[in-house]
Chain A
Amino acid sequence: MTKLLMPYITGGVVAGWTAYLRAFEDAGADLIEVGLPFSDPTVDGPTIQEASDAALARGATPGSILAEVAADPVTIPLVASTYANLALRPGFGDALTAAGVTGLIVPDLPLDELDQLQVPGIAVSLLASPATPDDRLAEIGKRSQGFVYAVSVMGITGERDRLAPSAATLATRLKQITDLPILIGFGISSPEQAAEAAEVADGVIVGAAVMRRILDGASPATLGAFVGTLRAALDVR
């Protein structure tokens, strides 16, 4: 089976940001995670915090971002990610559907509070953590939709020098309790790390490594090339 690649982008981070979506698609991404920025991103490290601030400073709102997505569509699935304060607002699911988004990740809305999320027709993927005990992991496997997001490390988003050993352990545990694809995210920064993660998982999510390049001013073509190197690393097996 080919390994899944889901690059992340903060919606609205720069003018014309949807050009990156197309670059990701052309470079072989299977899905794209589009972050709807929140003022207080408690699960994110400095890079994505900075991207969120930049988007909000430009006046980006969930509505404006989704409108831009709808106006400039790609053909691969889009997964929105945001915080509970935005995701629990009435009409949020309809707004996603209207923009053609089919998946959702809410990192601060765990299993216990999941029933509050009313987004019919949207596949809500849950996060699993290295600290999650077995019985809870089984429940996450049962209630997650689309895929399970395996958080590689006890920590926040951000680039890291190496893939934490906890990533492989968690992915292996998840494989035993669910048939859903397991995507490893948090900290994957290079093609080598992506390949290493994909040895045990079904794919990878790459956020901060993408966003640092965008914040540094890299063009869609440059980002496409970077995503291409991730694709190649996942395909050489």
Chain B
Amino acid sequence: MSSITVSPSTGVLGRFGQYGGRYIPESLIPACQAVAEAFAEAWADPGFRGSLSALLSAYAGRPTPLTPALRLSAELGVTVLLKREDLTHTGSHKINNVLGQALLARRMGRTRLIAETGAGMHGVATATAGALLGLPVKVFMGERDVERQAHNVFRMRLLGAEVIPVTTGSRTLKDATSEAMRHWVTDTDEAYYCVGSVIGPHPYPTMVREFQRVIGDEARRQCAAELASAVPDYVVACVGGGSNAAGTFAGFVDTSARLIGVEAEGGSGASHGALGVLHGFQSLFLQDEHGQIQEAHSIAAGLDYPGVGPEHAYLRDLGRARYVTVSDSEAIAAAVRMARAEGILPAIESAHALAWVARAAGTPDLPSGSTVLVTLSGRGDKDITTLIAEADL
């Protein structure tokens, strides 16, 4: 695969090295600028921060616990600590970001939310925030994901959201994202586009990371209380677009912890992507030698995206974070193992992170005796149908 030669940009903020930027139709520029300005102002406003913290604790169930996985640790010979985003209201880390963006939308005077979703967790979170704040919600979702995440589709509808199946392309997250952008451009005065990961045009990658850094900040304090070393040796999180990983890493970038992002083998933008532009940002994308984006394939709908957020591409180049891949079957095995060892059924997305820990423990990648923080980005209830089909029980 060839790579793009990038000349120094005089352009917008929101660059992580050569990644990021704002590659969108002219019609969307004012809308993105408005989001960037509103976010900068809100994030500097203690009133906004206070409202968000209050919602996160009184509604979303924060702080989430840090759970030592005792039996799994004994089996693997490494100390595993789980950051329990699965215990948040709606069952995944997505709620942290969505409550922030929904409050921002309301502050901007927007009257509708639009969102794209893969696994459905971001859609459920957005539908939830919409119900809470009285904002109608439209969720774009690939037709394939509508089929494999039927329960989440029903949850969204139950919450009053309109779910729009997207029938183009691979009929997964990539195409849902394209369709959401196409829709946004028709309705920028009223609608707020609530992006579900650290992807999209500036300011989304930065903003979503800031809304998710609550994971890393809490975990940092909790690790300090739990561990003699204060900081774990390894910090591991699964990477679709990369929001739970970005939020987790944000709490540890300035420490000695080794950061590991775990991608699905078939959706490994950071591991196997080439420089490119999609969905408004420059980053690493799976693409053919002509520059056509390739379809991702993962058993985890939330990891079924051919690219990765720009900050992850940058952390990779810097050598600050390492990105690895896990196969569908390793992830399923890790989900079952976790359920049996700890009584916790993780989302299949999160199981990717656990699968890498299980595979690497005791090797030079993750030496015996290490301490490992793993973000459990969500719970596996949504994945029961997949598990019935795939887990040989």
Considering the complex of A and B, which 9 residue pairs feature the smallest CB-CB distances, nearest first?
A: A112-B11, A129-B27, A84-B277, A39-B292, A129-B26, A61-B290, A112-B12, A85-B277, A39-B293
Inter-chain contact A130/B27, CB cutoff 8 Å:
yes
Which residues of B in the span 1-52 have a Cβ within 8 Å of any Cβ on A? 2-12, 21-27, 29-31
Inter-chain contact B185/A154, CB cutoff 8 Å:
yes
Does A228 count as interface, using CB distance less than 8 angstroms?
Answer: no
Inter-chain contact B8/A110, CB cutoff 8 Å:
no
B185 to chain A, nearest CB (A): 6
Complex CA–CA separation, A42 to B169 (angstroms): 12
Main secondary structure of the interface of A (DSSP, over half): loop
State which of B5, B175, B277 has its C-beta within 8 Å of the C-beta of A108. B277
How many A-B pairs fall under 8 Å by CB? 130
| CB-nearest residue of chain A to B11 | A112
Inter-chain contact A108/B182, CB cutoff 8 Å:
no
Inter-chain contact A40/B169, CB cutoff 8 Å:
yes
Residues of A within 8 A of B26 (CB): 107, 110-111, 126-129, 131-132, 140, 151
Inter-chain contact A56/B186, CB cutoff 8 Å:
no
Q: A39-B292, A42-B181 are in contact. Are A129 and B25 (CB under 8 A)?
A: yes
**Please, could you name 9 A-B residue pairs with CB atoms under 8 Å apart, sorted by A?**
A40-B279, A53-B169, A107-B25, A107-B26, A108-B277, A110-B23, A112-B11, A113-B21, A155-B185
Does A215 count as interface, using CB distance less than 8 angstroms?
Answer: no
Inter-chain contact B10/A83, CB cutoff 8 Å:
no
Give 16 new A-B contacts, CB below 8 A, not counting A83-B277, A131-B30. Answer: A49-B168, A84-B23, A86-B290, A90-B5, A113-B23, A128-B26, A129-B26, A130-B27, A131-B29, A131-B31, A132-B26, A132-B29, A133-B30, A154-B187, A155-B27, A156-B185
Does A102 count as interface, using CB distance less than 8 angstroms?
Answer: no
A127 to chain B, nearest CB (A): 5
Inter-chain contact B30/A110, CB cutoff 8 Å:
no
Residues of B within 8 A of A86 (CB): 290-291
Does B97 count as interface, using CB distance less than 8 angstroms?
Answer: no
Complex CA–CA separation, A9 to B303 (angstroms): 35
Does B174 count as interface, using CB distance less than 8 angstroms?
Answer: yes
| CB-nearest residue of chain B to A128 | B26
Residues of B within 8 A of A90 (CB): 2-5
Inter-chain contact A42/B291, CB cutoff 8 Å:
no
Complex CA–CA separation, A86 to B12 (angstroms): 21
Inter-chain contact B27/A151, CB cutoff 8 Å:
yes
B5 to chain A, nearest CB (A): 5
Residues of B within 8 A of A131 (CB): 26-27, 29-31, 188
B319 to chain A, nearest CB (A): 25
Inter-chain contact B174/A40, CB cutoff 8 Å:
yes
Does A43 count as interface, using CB distance less than 8 angstroms?
Answer: yes
Does A20 count as interface, using CB distance less than 8 angstroms?
Answer: no
Complex CA–CA separation, A131 to B33 (angstroms): 12
Complex CA–CA separation, A90 to B276 (angstroms): 12
Inter-chain contact B29/A110, CB cutoff 8 Å:
yes
Complex CA–CA separation, A107 to B7 (angstroms): 19
| CB-nearest residue of chain A to B27 | A129
Inter-chain contact B185/A85, CB cutoff 8 Å:
no
Which residues of A in the span 196-217 have a Cβ within 8 Å of any Cβ on B? none
A119 to chain B, nearest CB (A): 12
Q: A85-B291, A155-B185 are in contact. Are A108 and B27 (CB under 8 A)?
A: no
